[in-house]
Amino acid sequence: MAVLVALILGMVSVPADAGWVTKTISDNSTNALGGKISGDFVLFTGRVEGPDDSQNRIYLYRISTGEKKTVGLPSVNMTITGPEISGEYATWFETPRVDFGPGTTGIAQNRVFLCSIRNGSAGIIDDTGNAWWPRIDRGKIIWQNDVSEGLDTRIVLYDIDTGERKEVCTLPIVNPAAVLFNGDRIAYLGRNGLFLYSLTDNINTEVFRNNAGNVSNTGVSDYAMKGDYLVYTTRRITFEGQDKGSFKELFLYVISTGKTERIDPVSGTLLGSSQPPAGTERSPDISSPFTDGKRIGWVYTENSPRSSIVLCDPQTGAVEKISLDGIACDVSIDGDRMIWVESHFPSFHGDLVLAQEIPDSGEDMRAAAPGFSSCIGILALVGALMLLCRKK
């Protein structure tokens, strides 16, 4: 009986933590560069090992069937990036490579693509040449039309159902790749900090103002937005005194109330807006904040090359940690499923990992990825066999 149990255990895909089962969905030959998850689908960028970004590909992975296919290929002298997915639509853009290489001529231009997951078709929806970093939410897409250095950036809104496009605003964006879009809101890094712009009432709200002084500088490092939540990290650099050095802090901004709370990145505890950080809160390296509008999360690293993913429900205060053997980044969550890119020192190769939360007893697992249901069934069988051994 003990041998049988050992054999079954050897077949089980080991979960990242007690509440999650994981599997790698990128090929060994593909270096995963990041992606997004929505419902039953994962959209991600990958390429063969090496720095040649002309080898970038956009892949679509269906969780329920395990089917993976290439949906985006770059044109000659171009690369593709910026995959975004929402519901049954996906988008990305292609842009000229930094270096075309010897013997190449011509002027390449940016192009934005829209892919219908239902029929598997992809087409160009903007080829004006200066459109980039599209962001999609349900039936709407925004992208940026870069004007020129030092000037505001035009934002174009595209309606998938009607094909209508219109310029809706101009914003002083300093990091185009970090722009986010959800509902009627655009989150972006401006010249003075982190801002939230409403397309409904054209109000620009300051979420965090950068602080630059003689003793220290503080600015936003990274952020994520969905539903009523905007979670972000800041980096403070202090030049002198007892706090000399660089450290990060983690914050939650609730959009409906305008309230900001500091978060302990290790425990996941919401600390309130006025409580100063303790020294222990400065030790981990915080990165990759994420949210699906219900839970918020982030990655922290205390003992590299290991890292932990922390999940927090701001409504209930429930916190869950997922401990990893490698370094995680580019986390995306949708309900009971997550993806992230995981690397293991000293390699720079990134694996795209899909995680499925193990449901409470009685919940339906029919939509789980291939292997998830069987893993859970095997775990249940092992438990039953061990119970039988005890009785004997």
DSSP symbols for 320-382: EEEEESSEEEEEEEETTEEEEEEE-TT----EEEEEEEPPPTT---TTSPTTHHHHHHHHHHH
CB 22 within 8 A of CB 12: no
Q: What does the pLDDT read at residue 274?
A: 52
Based on the fold, state whether residues 54 and 152 are members of the same structural domain: yes
Nearest-10 Cα torsion for 9, 12, 15, 21: -150
Based on the fold, state whether residues 267 and 148 are members of the same structural domain: no
Nearest-10 Cα torsion for 191, 194, 199, 200: -130
Q: What does the pLDDT read at residue 380?
A: 45
Question: Domain containing 51 — which CATH number?
Answer: 2.130.10.150
The residue from 126, 154, 178 where one domain ends is 178
Q: Is 65 exposed, middle or buried (0-12, 13-18, 19+ CB in 10 A)?
A: exposed
Residue 363 forms part of a structural domain: no
Based on the fold, state whether residues 387 and 238 are members of the same structural domain: yes
CB 208 within 8 A of CB 232: yes
Cis peptide preceding 346, ω within 30 of 0:
yes
CA contacts within 13 A on the Cβ side of 179: 30
Cβ density class 86-110: b for 16+ within 10 Å, e for less = bebbbbbbbbbbeeeeeeeeeebeb
The set of residues, in sequence order, having a beta carbon less than 8 Å from that of 303 and lying 6+ positions away, is none
Q: What does the pLDDT read at residue 338?
A: 98
Angle at 390 between CA 392 and CA 384, to 5 degrees: 105
Residue 377's φ and ψ, nearest 5 degrees, are -65, -40
Helix and strand numbers (H, E) in the chain are 2, 30
Based on the fold, state whether residues 106 and 152 are members of the same structural domain: yes
Q: What does the pLDDT read at residue 15?
A: 46
Based on the fold, state whether residues 107 and 228 are members of the same structural domain: no
CB 8 within 8 A of CB 377: no
Residue 135 forms part of a structural domain: yes
Angle between helices 372-391 and 2-11 (to 10 degrees): 170
Residue 147 forms part of a structural domain: yes
Based on the fold, state whether residues 145 and 219 are members of the same structural domain: no
Partners of 16 in the β-ladder: none
Residue 386: count of CB within 10 angstroms of its CB: 12
Based on the fold, state whether residues 266 and 163 are members of the same structural domain: no
Based on the fold, state whether residues 214 and 353 are members of the same structural domain: yes
Residue 145 forms part of a structural domain: yes
Residue 242 forms part of a structural domain: yes
Based on the fold, state whether residues 392 and 320 are members of the same structural domain: yes
Based on the fold, state whether residues 44 and 96 are members of the same structural domain: yes
Reduced to 3 states (helix: H, G, I; strand: E, B; else coil), residue 253 is: strand
Task: Tell me which residues of the chain have a pLDDT lower than 70.
Answer: 1-18, 99-107, 147-150, 273-283, 360-392
CB 89 within 8 A of CB 117: yes
Report the number of distinct structural domains present in the chain. 2
Q: What does the pLDDT read at residue 365?
A: 39
CB 140 within 8 A of CB 200: no
Q: What does the pLDDT read at residue 149?
A: 57
The residue from 178, 194, 228 where one domain ends is 178
Residue 12 forms part of a structural domain: no
Q: What does the pLDDT read at residue 275?
A: 53
Angle at 365 between CA 362 and CA 371, to 5 degrees: 135
DSSP state of 192: S
Based on the fold, state whether residues 233 and 337 are members of the same structural domain: yes
Residue 386 forms part of a structural domain: yes
Q: Which residue has the tokens 């950068």?
A: 210
Residue 339 forms part of a structural domain: yes
* pTM for the model: 0.84
Question: Domain containing 290 — which CATH number?
Answer: 2.40.128
Q: What does the pLDDT read at residue 177?
A: 95
The set of residues, in sequence order, having a beta carbon less than 8 Å from that of 147 and lying 6+ positions away, is 153, 154, 170
CB 104 within 8 A of CB 133: no
Domain that holds residue 77: 32-178
Q: What does the pLDDT read at residue 371?
A: 47
Based on the fold, state whether residues 216 and 102 are members of the same structural domain: no
